[in-house]
Amino acid sequence: MGKPKRERRLADNEAMAVARNLRVSPQKLNLVAATIRGKPVEKALAELTFSRKRIARDVKKTLESAVANAENNHDLDVDALVVAEAYVGKNLVLKRIRPRARGRAARIFKPFSQLTIVVREKNAEVISEGAGQSQGAS
């Protein structure tokens, strides 16, 4: 018999990739994720390539995975992809102890995060119109 197939959570023009157990605090990861939100995939990849943040390498790998999912699993046009969502969640926290003066101890928290990236296919007309408006506003 088997259980019924679960419905797709995303729209037909979207694809997603999730990176779990990234060894960085969610706050630091969110700074990198905020730089790519809403940008075309090409610009986002270029920005992550030249970012000085250590975690940018893992964010880039996740974005490339989302693009590969869009291309291979959902037959979307890679050139028309935009980073629709990039959000960060908490994961486990390792708790360690650091010895301090006079026999005391201090807690050290080593947080982990998870990153979810959703890419969406935009029409070619919408992208060219959006680019023209942003240049005119400057």
Ranges of each domain in the chain: 14-126
Q: In which region does residue 87 sit, left (phi positive, over 0), alpha (psi from -120 to 50) or beta (all else)?
A: beta
pLDDT at 45: 97
Residue 124 has pLDDT above 80, yes or no: no
State mean pLDDT over 28-39.
97
Q: What is the DSSP letter of 40?
A: B
Asked whether residue 30 carries a pLDDT value surpassing 50, the answer given is yes
pLDDT band at 126 (very low <50, low <70, confident <90, very high): low
Cα–Cα distance, 58 to 79 (Å, whole number): 22
Residue 17 to residues 53, 61, 108, Cα–Cα distance (Å): 21, 10, 30
- pLDDT of 76 reads 94
Strand 14-22 relative to strand 81-99: parallel, antiparallel, unpaired? Answer: unpaired
83 pLDDT higher than 50: yes
pLDDT tens, residue by residue, 19-28: 999 999 999 9
Average pLDDT over residues 106-121: 97
pLDDT value for 138: 46
The CATH number assigned to the domain with range 14-126 reads: 3.90.470.10
